[in-house]
Chains A and B, each alone.
Chain A
């Protein structure tokens, strides 16, 4: 067949020319493009006319592959897709025992071409530029659908081969963010069978060790599937309708099991610290609901919890979910929780998240008072080094705890009735019985201590913080403070609160220092004061030279 070869060569020529002097020959190139289009259309029409022209399929495939997978001829791909769809609908792919030898050969040849075409599409998805990737993905999915609907019995095979290839290509595609979005939005979220098989294939795919970029992609794809079907959910939106015998695809448990497998496969991989954190962050919302046996998560969560630092804080919520929902018994939970209260906690950005959980954990009135006291004392110690936004949380939080655990209020008001002891304290002062290095919150003796720290914070430099710290020495008339209101303050927010965004007139005239200092930076007129610098700002001048 001379025609296709010609075309192919001309195409090559064209591409080489294009590479050479594109600008000069744009008109020619456009002509070429039109030529190619018409050729493709002609070829496609011929195939539709009669079987004699089936060879055109091969021509088209070669045209498709001519530019390599980086630069595919998408028109050819589209027309091929049409051709194959038509052929499948016409039943040309069906093997029938009564078919002649010739027909069988034709069918086999067609199948081979189809395979070839699919390979080409998959490689396009893998390697081409974004637009082609998306187009090829659509075409490939179309092929998948056609094959399932028109070739009976092909379903399992198609999902496990073609779809696997597609999925892998999607995952491994270069610069695939748009492709991923396309895949997720057009297929994964739309069709429940696609989701089902995605889970299956990912479980298989992630079974092997993968590098962290690919894991990132997998995690992002999986995390998009956060609509867990409720029990009794009827699965209706299928991508490829088939009179399938597969019952798993229509059962909630089947879906969940696949999802669980997929997630477990991911978790078993070697995941980086950042991935671990992001996984922990989405744990409660999009991972745990999929699990039929959440116990499987236990290892991961406890590992993370024991990791320390921010990871522990993040693992806490997942763990809490397990404790709450699955009756998990975590030994030494409060000891561990207590150990999380370290110097970095109040400066961490997960502070508000942690306090929400802590609020839940310490809400029970049945907790031992000694334990609660330890938490109070530790928090007040931390408050001494905390930013104002953290102090603002701690104090109302402590107020609430005091309110629900009245035994602990001795920490605010301790009268010594024993006269001997009182005399001793009068003489030597009270040593703080609290042991900050004790890890067990039951043994810190915090309940015998006092919250001097908060009392000191009543003279905090920020007036609002000081006012809040003052609530522990007022009468406890309020039922409880709503912690949520105090959680998300920041320096920026506080400064904005003071200064506002634009200039508004001041409500009151600001006071001005009544005495103008003699000197601010220099030693001006020092001899008048007898050489002793004692005015305002003397401290700065004593430490710093201004010259």
Chain B
């Protein structure tokens, strides 16, 4: 059982030290003197207040001891109901309002007034002495904080109190500070000092205002004894002065010595008896005659510079890398091994791209192929778009790290000693060399065929080039501007014989080497685009395009593609776009050249490639839809088919259009039309008959690229061309059979081929086609054997061996240690927004509550004032009434009295 209230009160009073044994008088006095009494008083008051609060049950709002219902709201545990003290908070608020709002209320519609900002003026706990001390401390602190280093007036470090400008310190002014003059101005002085106090803080110019006889007083003063500090100062100043003097002397000596040193050569020459040519007189520095200080100033900056330089060097040294052991120079085997490693990695990457896998560095990208499995729920998504049709997202890529700064492959450049070119090629060397700058430069010199990069001057470059390229002769210029359009390029090479175009290209590349100028990279990119255009232009526009030159340019493009892949790819894509928009079914020789270039410059095996995939489509579209009427159409088709197979050499992908076209072409070329259907390929008859004429003997030859555009001159040539076309298609099918031999549908693909080949063989039985028989037979044998092989190795499909998918789980996600106060919103932005909203709401509520309280306070205050006024009025009224009544009463009494008196008289 707890002790009674009274006992508790007593105990707590004792504990808090309110009640304590009586103090002696002496103690009391001491306490009062040291200010401890006031402190004690404060402490006691606080303790008393605490005890009062503790023992007042109405001051504390107690939470209901138990909740009525079990609830799981988040607010239950967080509520601080047990500790809230409404009375206290209310009175606090009231007090605050009284301090602020009430003042404002009173000051409303009033202007001016005094604000007492003196320190501690409103603090009742401070004694006047304390206040003064504190003020003094603050003042001195303010003085100590020097605002400006240029404030000359304040150079007196020591702060001292003054009176009328005179120091108040007693130790140095032993004069009596009482002056008679002070006395008579006491009245005004009071105001003056106060004013001065204010101004003192800012400017001491105000001293002028005050009449003040410091000057004459100072003269009057006797020589006073120097203080210790002053003595010390003097000593220090003196020693500094001497030091400075010594230094100056030393510097002068140095200067003199230097001058002598400078004159030494002259001296020597004079000794040898040869008169030196008169040197221009150096600006005379007659330091001796000059004011030494000025000389020092003249010398100063120089010295500062050297010092700064020294500092910098020192810093650099500290930051310099420690020398480390360099990598050992690699042996030839190691180099070869490394190169093999690199090639292997590149090849691996290529295979990865071929399979449509992502390269390791971009694996975070989501694979499109999977995406269609995920959008089960989203029925509104275009199914076709999931496969990238027709708006297409490149799904695999690219990213074989390129050989860095690979510039002009020596392989590209005709050296004088081509024979000496070793087999293991240029790439490796370049790769190696790109690591070591200097060596690379040398190498490059060599690469660009001795046309030294015009580091020195164009003239030297030209001269070396002349030595190196005697074949080019004097006709070629040595510098060419980098063309910006194909037209410009044509203008440049207009005068140049065709076989020198590679030299021109090479020179342009050398002259605009990216190392020479920042813009050159962009220029060369543009140049690469122009070259792409030029290849197609060359193939289209000349009767007999020089393939050696086209090849050279294509290889140039290839080498530039390594540095400017975007430019080259864009140029190729532009060509392809032109093809697909203008002549999808009528390819020109230039287009074929471009498509050939694509197959060598870009990896045709990639699953997706920004250039190769459209090129594929262009070829397939041509093969699938073109009309084959003339022999040159068939020749174009044959070339396109060859390219198709060329594209698929590595990746071995199936092209339906190729099979269709080849079989169609064979059916159209053989001497007689097939009578029955030979397979599922759609047969399209050509408009004109291009069948082999049965009368002439044919001599098949190797197809020439110009067959694509040129029609054969006479009928015999035409027959020969037909026969060679037949042979080419047969060998194409032969190759295709080899390429696609591991396709599971090989029998389905190639049984029509077999049928057609048999038909061709049968149709060309005549003697005149003897030249065709052998290749036909061999291809047929090959196809038949492959077919048999494929049939034998065929197994039923087992596509769905994969593990069954797990059934989707519907179990909710549980949070360990769930805290209802925490927000588990995964969407950060939303969470943030919610937080802000909540805060805003809370603030708003608080503000409204405050305003309401303010309003009620104001109303209360007004009411109180009104009541006061009323009460006063009432009082006054009552007073007046009473006054009047008393007066009247007196008069009545008087009257009564009079009356009585009169009656009495009567």
Please list the residues of chain A having a beta carbon within 8 angstroms of any beta carbon in chain B.
343-344, 347, 381-388, 391-392, 396, 409, 411-416, 425, 428-432, 436, 450-453, 455-457, 459-464, 466-468, 470-475, 477-479, 481-482, 485-486, 489, 491-500, 503, 505-522, 524-525, 528, 536-537, 539-540, 543-547
Residue from the list B399, B577, B677, B797 in contact with A451, Cβ < 8 A? B797
Q: Which of A392, A503, A539 contacts B570 (CB 8 A)?
A: A503
Is there a chain A Cβ closer than 8 Å to B648's Cβ? yes
Residues of B within 8 A of A391 (CB): 656
Asked whether, in the complex, the Cβ of B624 is within 8 Å of the Cβ of A387, the reply is yes
How long is the Cα–Cα vector from A224 to B412 in the complex, in angstroms?
69
| A452, B566: Cβ atoms closer than 8 Å | no
Q: Are A456 and B654 in contact (CB under 8 A)?
A: yes
Q: Which among B343, B396, B646, B657 is the interface contact of A537 at CB below 8 angstroms?
A: B646
Given contacts A463-B608, A467-B388, contact A544 B745 (CB under 8 A): no
Assembly CA distance A391 to B390 (angstroms): 14
* A273 → chain B closest CB, angstroms: 18
Given contacts A452-B744, A464-B388, are A544 and B411 in contact (CB under 8 A)?
no
Instruction: Find the B residue at minimum CB distance from A346.
Output: B682
Q: Does B813 contact A (CB under 8 A)?
A: no
Q: Which of A384, A392, A503, A543 contacts B728 (CB under 8 A)?
A: A543
Tell me the bound Cα distance from A457 to B409 in angstroms: 40
Check B639–A506 contact: CB distance below 8 A. Answer: no
* List of A residues within 8 angstroms of B681 by Cβ: 343, 385
Is A514 within 8 A of B427, CB to CB? yes
- Residue B108 is within 8 A (CB to CB) of chain A in the complex: no
**In-complex Cβ contact of B800 among A383, A473, A515 (8 A):** A473
* Distance A543 CA – B646 CA, assembled complex (angstroms): 11
A243 to B356, CA, bound (A): 79
Does B188 touch A at the CB level, under 8 Å?
no
Is residue B732 within 8 Å, beta carbon to beta carbon, of the partner chain?
yes
Asked if B555 is an interface residue, CB under 8 A from chain A, the answer is yes
User: B68 contacts the other chain (Cβ, under 8 Å)?
Assistant: no
Q: Are A385 and B427 in contact (CB under 8 A)?
A: no
Chain B residue contacts of A518, Cβ below 8 A = 411
Q: Is A539 a contact of B394 with CB atoms below 8 Å?
A: no
Please determine whether A499 and B577 come into contact, CB atoms closer than 8 angstroms.
Answer: yes
Let me know if B573 and A536 touch, CB within 8 A.
no
A430 touching B794, Cβ below 8 Å: yes
Q: Are B705 and A525 in contact (CB under 8 A)?
A: no
Point out the residues of chain A lying under 8 angstroms from B397, CB to CB: 508, 511
Q: For A509, what are the chain B residues with a Cβ–Cβ distance below 8 Å?
A: 398-399, 565-566
A525 to B798, CA, bound (A): 49
* B649–A495 CB distance below 8 A: no
A383 vs B403: C-alpha distance in the bound complex, in angstroms? 42
Q: Chain B residues near A425 (CB, 8 Å)?
A: 795-796
Out of B566, B654, B797, B804, name the residue touching A457 (CB < 8 Å).
B654
A508 and B394 contact, CB distance less than 8 A: yes
In the complex, which residues 389-420 of chain B have their Cβ closer than 8 Å to any Cβ of chain A?
389-392, 394-400, 402-403, 409, 411-412, 418
Which of A486, A491, A505, A517 has the most B CB atoms < 10 Å from its CB?
A491
Would A528 and B802 count as touching, CB distance under 8 A? no
List, in ascending order, chain A residues with CB within 8 A of B388's CB.
463-464, 467, 497
Among all A-B residue pairs, the 6 with the closest Cβ atoms: A497-B390, A456-B745, A521-B547, A414-B796, A546-B547, A485-B384
Min CB distance B682 to A, Å, is 5
Partner of A506, one of B384, B555, B569, B616: B569
The verdict on B748 contacting chain A, using a C-beta distance below 8 Å, is yes
Q: Are A540 and B624 in contact (CB under 8 A)?
A: no
- Do A539 and B384 have beta carbons less than 8 Å apart? no
User: What is the CB-to-nearest-CB distance from A339 to chain B, in angstroms, rounded to a whole number?
Assistant: 13
Is the beta-carbon distance between A456 and B649 smaller than 8 angstroms? no
Tell whether, in the assembled complex, residue B617 and residue A494 are in contact, meaning their CB atoms are under 8 Å apart.
yes
* Interface flag for B554 (CB, 8 Å): yes
B323 to chain A, nearest CB (A): 36
User: Does B503 sit at the interface, judged by CB under 8 A?
Assistant: no
A472 to B801, CA, bound (A): 12
Q: Which residues of A contact B798 (CB under 8 A)?
A: 413-415
**In the complex, what's the smallest C-beta–C-beta distance from A246 to chain B, in angstroms?**
54
User: Could you jot down 12 A-B contacts, CB within 8 Å?
Assistant: A343-B679, A385-B656, A413-B799, A459-B654, A463-B613, A478-B373, A485-B385, A486-B383, A498-B614, A508-B610, A510-B569, A547-B704
Q: How far is the CA of A464 from the CA of B368 in the complex (A)?
A: 10
Of chain B, the residue at the smallest CB distance from A530 is: B423
For the complex, what is the distance from the CA of A432 to the CA of B792, rounded to whole Å?
Answer: 11
Instruction: Report Cα–Cα, A195/B400, bound state, in Å.
Output: 72
Q: Are B596 and A540 in contact (CB under 8 A)?
A: yes
| B745–A510 touching, CB < 8 Å | no
Complex Cα distance A518/B614, Å? 25
Taking CB atoms, residues of chain A closer than 8 Å to B600 are 513, 517, 520, 536-537
Q: Which residue of A lies closest to B607 (CB)?
A: A463
Cα–Cα, bound, A481→B383 (Å): 6
Evaluate contact between B548 and A521: CB separation under 8 angstroms. yes
Given contacts A416-B796, A512-B565, A537-B600, whether A463 and B645 have CB atoms under 8 Å apart is no
